[in-house]
Structure 1
Amino acid sequence: MQLIPFKRLISAFIGSILFLDGIYLVSLNKIHLGTLLPVLIGFGLLCFAIFYQKIQIVVQKIPLRTLLWRLSWAGFLLWSMTVLCFFMYLHLATQSYAQIAPVKAIIVLGSGIENGQPSATLAQRLDRAAELAKQQPQTPMIMTGGLDFREQYTEAEIMSKYIQQNYAIASNRIWLEDKSTSTDLNLKNSQAILNQLNIQLNEPIAVVTSDFHTLRAAAIAKKQGYSHIIAVAAPTPLLNRYNSWLREYFAYLSGWVLNEF
């Protein structure tokens, strides 16, 4: 098979997957950079495959255009490699489910409510937190999250209800941080509860969140003064796993640039 037809075929194949994946998730109202960017990249690859000959005619008319075209592809491939490396890091860094050493508290970070119930991603976090809570039955749990748009109950309240109903964990073990709307506030507002429990920030504290989110959550916690954080990773549902990882790639970069951690 000649190189050019093969290149167009691969572009059409990858472009179709990315475009349809993004459109499907957007149709489910999962609208964020992790879903919109695949739509744009997929559309670009499809256009490249369909209009390859016309693009080449335009590009090759002027040497500068050819140079810029090649540099653009090189930049895209380099960026793709950094994304792949980030994905590999997340995959390898979150595979261990070994017994966790005793902790003083378990903080569960919120991740959205859908029709009065934890989202699929949040349910995974709660399942992972409940598993840890069963292993350490004396450890208090802190549910975090304020009132979502169009919801009657706060995220923390819904999380608490889920844990009690599905895992029979006593309500007196569960504390609610129900004012926050971000990871930064989840952890910041939880400090008041930790203070009530006489737990210091230099003591071991588990932070349960999604696999893709552990790196940034731990970095934010460290900046706030948590010095003995144990990040506990919950798997992300396969349906939106890699879109969530892509969104986190940009969130981590922007947090680093803006000195958020």
Structure 2
Amino acid sequence: MPASVLRQLFSIVTVLIAALLVVDAVFLMSTGLVNFGVVLPLCIGCGLMVLRWKSQQFGRWRSQKLWRQKVWMLARLLAGAWLLSLVLFFIFLQRSNDAAGLTDKKTAAVKAIMVLGSGSLKCSASPTLAARLDLGLEWARRLPAAKVLVTGGKNWTLPCSEAQIMGDYLRAHGLAAERIIQEERSTTTYENLLFSQPLLEKNAVMPQDGILIVSSDFHVLRARMIAHRLGWSSVQTAGAATPLYIRYNDWLREYFSFIKGFLLRMY
């Protein structure tokens, strides 16, 4: 196939990918979802569109200096390496989720079920948060003696805390109020677990006791690693399926959260 045809095909594919990234991000932002996993694809999509639109001018500018050509080559190599690492992380995340199955035998000693928040833009449960809460309710019915702790602080734009939203959701779906514990200060996964410890201990649940952490499928691995770092020795995790329309945006955000966790020595 002639090189000119290959370049044209590459250009078409690039434009299609860029358009897909932009449309996806705009759609999610129109529903109220604005986070790093949404904004970054939007920026990448816009950048690719500008590069294709100004490709001839950029090519002439790049060819004028040798150092510009070298920088461009380095940038392409780094972008390729980053994309490869992202794909490998997605594969790793999927396999870790597949391997996190629970059995009644594993959860027989569970004394508390902890449902982690996922961020809310309104004083009501988002689809992702509702999926976590529904899974928490399922396990609460299977483990009737376990306390149910919901954890999540207040978004500065809202009059309610996420734990309040979660507690209201559980009570509205029939869970007894006396089983529910609300932790309303945390704003990160690390704080979710750290600030929950004293509340659990007040309810006679120690770090060495059985604790079931419920979150989204992409999130349970990092939550489990942080819990072990904090000394929780008998932790199990249950992951709720992430809605497909937001799944890979959330996985992208989790990629950077994982890196942040390693840098801050959270594991």
Partner of 1:73: 76
| 1:192 alignment partner, SS class | helix
Query: Which position in structure 2 is the counterpart of 1:138?
Result: 145
What is the aligned partner in structure 2 of residue 225 from structure 1?
231
- Cα deviations by residue, 1:45-103 (Å, 9 ceiling, x for unpaired): 11232232332222223333222212211110110111111112222222355435221
Give the counterpart of 2:133 among 126, 132, 152: 126
Of 150, 169, 185, 1:162 maps to: 169
User: Helix, strand or coil: the match of 1:212?
Assistant: coil
**TM-score, length of structure 2 as denominator length:** 0.89
Of residues 70, 83, 87, the one that matches 1:84 is 87
What does 1:17-166 correspond to in 2, within 5 Å? 17-95=20-98, 97-100=101-104, 101-102=106-107, 103-166=110-173
CA distance in 1, matches of 2:194, 2:73: 47
Count, aligned residues: 260
Alignment match, 1:207: 213
Opposite residue 174 of structure 1, the aligned amino acid is I
Instruction: Give, as a single letter, the amino acid of the residue that structure 2 aligns with 1:9.
Output: I
Contact 2:132 2:215 in 1 (8 A): yes
For 2:91 and 2:37, locate their aligned partners in 1 and report how far apart those are by CA, in whole Å. 17
Structure 1 Cα separation of the partners of residues 12 and 6 of structure 2 = 10
Q: Is 1:173 the counterpart of 2:176 in the alignment?
A: no
Q: Gaps (5+ residues) in structure 2?
A: none
Residues 111-120 or 100-109, more deviating: 111-120
**Structure 1: stretches of 5+ with no match in the other structure:** none
Secondary structure in structure 2 of the residue aligned to 1:260 = coil
- Write the distance in 2 (CA, Å) between the matches of 1:114 and 1:61: 49
| Residues 1:12 and 2:19 aligned together | no
The change in CA–CA distance for 1:126 and 1:217 in structure 2 (over 3 A counts) is same
Shift of 1:220: 1.8
Q: Are the structure 2 counterparts of residues 113 and 43 from structure 1 closer, same or farther at C-alpha, using a change threshold of 3 Å?
A: closer
Q: Normalising by structure 1, what TM-score?
A: 0.91
**Stretch of structure 1 that moved more, 226-235 or 111-120:** 111-120
Cα RMSD after superposing both structures: 1.9
Q: Amino acid of the residue matched to residue 103 of structure 2?
A: Q
Greater shift after overlay, 101-110 or 111-120?
Answer: 111-120
Q: Alignment partner of 1:84: what SS? A: helix
Paired with 2:152 and 2:75, the residues of 1 have a C-alpha distance of 42
Q: Which residue of 1 aligns with 2:6?
A: 3
Percent of aligned positions that are identical: 34
